[in-house]
């Protein structure tokens, strides 16, 4: 199983896996990112509740926890 994180950074959506310092890929459009990742077997495993429901709007980034099974 592989885990990843899709997060908005500036104006780009970044997919991070393993080494969080270096994004694996990036997209300008969230729908395009999710569609492409879905085709590769990635699914949304959840939202980071701490950041999603933070009272501080600056901390409420629309990130996704991603997961896929590798055979």
- pLDDT digits 0-9 by tens, 21-37: 777 899 999 999 999 99
pTM of the predicted protein model: 0.74
pLDDT at 6 over 70: yes
> Residues 47, 53, 54, 57: is their CA dihedral positive or negative?
positive
Measured distance CA(18)–CA(24) in Å, rounded: 9
- Count, residues in the chain: 71
Question: Where exactly are the structural domains of the chain?
Answer: 2-68
Q: Is the pLDDT of residue 16 over 60?
A: yes
| Alpha-carbon gap, residue 51 to 37, rounded angstroms | 22
Residues 38-59 have pLDDT tens digits of 999 999 998 765 555 556 655 5
Measured between alpha carbons, how far is 20 from 58 in angstroms, rounded to an integer? 20
Confidence check: pLDDT of 9 > 90: no
């Amino acid at each position: 199983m592989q885990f990843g994180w899709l997060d908005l950074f500036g104006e780009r959506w970044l997919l991070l896996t393993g080494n969080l310092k270096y994004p694996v890929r990036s997209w300008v459009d969230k729908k395009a990112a999710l569609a492409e990742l879905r085709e590769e077997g990635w699914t949304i495993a959840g939202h980071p509740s701490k950041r999603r429901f933070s009272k501080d709007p600056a901390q409420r980034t629309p990130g996704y926890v991603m997961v896929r099974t590798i055979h």
